[in-house]
């Protein structure tokens, strides 16, 4: 099969299409013929470092987001059968190899593809949507009437978080460039702040939940927006500025959350899609052979929604 591989760390041009053996599903696993693979910041950061978060080194194939068709099932699998359309985020944070024509992974790292979504749209969803779902639903337990602040609200995670929080009945505030405000309002944002013209830490108050995908000073400054008992969910690994002590002093909670493969979460996301409460924005689609171009675009930080690789029919 064809796969995108790299044998050295560096810029996007280290990504090359190679021929590798097709994987075979083991016990409890399925073989998925990949139709689309989402591109995420975790991908280009791993490419640049040349090592996965779990220590796996090169050569390797990037990619966690998968939408495709079940080609075969391993022993003991009852959840899916050959021909089923699925989507998922297999094996994260361990290598999944989604930039390829086939992947294998535990069956319960996938769920049925939401009705009404194309393969490209489904391939854009898993990692970003599961991140937003696990942050807002599982970690913060957002409830009707609460106020939720989403940073980078037009980004891959952000635009989905806005919709998930809204579907939970929250009042949603998003930060984004002014050019993105109309889009965010169409997704359900009640209030939008141009971070280049306004200081959110001075204008936003009495927030119950902050979802921060930016890290650094944003975490500390976001504490000022929370009411007592509120929760800050950070999506970047804590560094020396992570405000645990400041949060405790302010009577709020600050936590770092790492997304996990989650069959139940995927089913919840699919339900929101099928109810018309959640749509994924696809910024641009590239063929598998142009993964390097996809990475170069992603690294600009100027995309709206997701970048996707189209892998097969």
Q: What is the mean pLDDT of residues 181-196?
A: 96
Q: What is the mean pLDDT of residues 134-150?
A: 98
The structure tokens listed for 296 are 């170069």
Reported as type and span, the H/E element at residue 37 is: strand 29-39
Enumerate domains of the chain plus CATH numbers. 2-125+280-310 (3.90.180.10), 128-256 (3.40.50.720)
pLDDT tens digits for 49-78? 999 988 899 999 999 999 999 999 999 999
Integer CA distances (angstroms), 133 to 1, 91, 141, in order? 33, 18, 10
**Alpha helix segments (H runs only) across 125-278:** 126-133, 156-167, 181-186, 200-203, 217-222, 244-250, 263-274
The mean of the pLDDT values for the chain is: 95
Omega before 301 within 30 of 0, i.e. cis: no
The helix/strand/coil state of 220 is helix
Answer yes or no: is pLDDT of 218 > 90: no
Q: What percent of the chain has pLDDT over 90?
A: 88
The dihedral built from the CA positions of residue 256, 258, 262 and 266, taken in this order, carries a sign that is positive
- The reported pLDDT for the residue numbered 301 is 82
Answer yes or no: is pLDDT of 197 > 80: yes
DSSP for 72-92?
EE-TT--S--TT-EEEE-TTT
176, β-bridge pairs:
194
Give CA–CA dist 257/134, Å, rounded.
Answer: 8
Q: In degrees rounded to 5, what are phi and psi of residue 138?
A: -80, -40
Q: Which residue has the higher pLDDT, 278 or 219?
A: 278
Answer yes or no: is pLDDT of 237 > 90: no
Q: What is the mean pLDDT of residues 22-39?
A: 98
What is the reported pTM?
Answer: 0.95
Integer CA distances (angstroms), 220 to 152, 247, 263, in order? 16, 8, 33
pLDDT tens digits for 198-216? 999 999 999 999 999 988 8
């Amino acid at each position: 099969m064809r796969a995108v591989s790299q044998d050295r760390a560096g810029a996007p041009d280290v990504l090359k299409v190679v021929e590798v053996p097709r994987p075979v599903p083991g016990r409890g696993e399925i073989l998925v013929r990949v139709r689309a693979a989402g591109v995420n910041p975790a991908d280009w950061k791993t490419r640049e470092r040349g090592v996965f978060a779990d220590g796996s080194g090169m050569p390797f194939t990037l990619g966690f987001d998968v939408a495709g068709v079940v080609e075969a099932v391993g022993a003991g699998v009852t959840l899916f059968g050959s021909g089923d359309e699925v989507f998922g985020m297999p094996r994260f944070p361990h290598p999944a190899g989604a930039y390829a024509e086939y992947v294998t992974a535990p069956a319960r790292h996938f769920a049925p593809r939401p009705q009404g979504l194309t393969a490209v749209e489904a391939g854009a969803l898993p990692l970003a949507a599961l991140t937003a779902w696990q942050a807002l639903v599982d970690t913060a337990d957002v409830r009707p009437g609460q106020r939720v602040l989403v940073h980078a609200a037009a980004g891959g995670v952000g635009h989905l978080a806005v919709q998930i929080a809204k579907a939970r009945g929250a009042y949603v505030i998003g930060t984004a460039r002014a050019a993105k405000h109309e889009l965010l309002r169409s997704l359900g944002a009640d209030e939008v702040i141009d971070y280049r013209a306004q200081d959110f830490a001075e204008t936003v108050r009495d927030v119950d939940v902050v979802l921060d995908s930016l890290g650094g000073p944003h975490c500390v400054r976001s504490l000022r927006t929370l009411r007592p008992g509120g929760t800050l969910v950070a999506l970047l690994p804590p560094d020396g500025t992570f405000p645990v002590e400041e949060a405790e002093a302010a009577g709020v909670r600050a936590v770092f959350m790492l997304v996990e493969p989650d069959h139940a979460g995927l089913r919840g996301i699919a339900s929101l899609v099928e109810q018309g409460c959640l749509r994924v924005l696809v910024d641009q689609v590239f063929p598998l052979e142009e993964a390097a171009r996809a990475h170069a675009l992603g690294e600009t930080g100027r995309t709206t929604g997701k970048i996707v690789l189209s892998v097969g029919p």
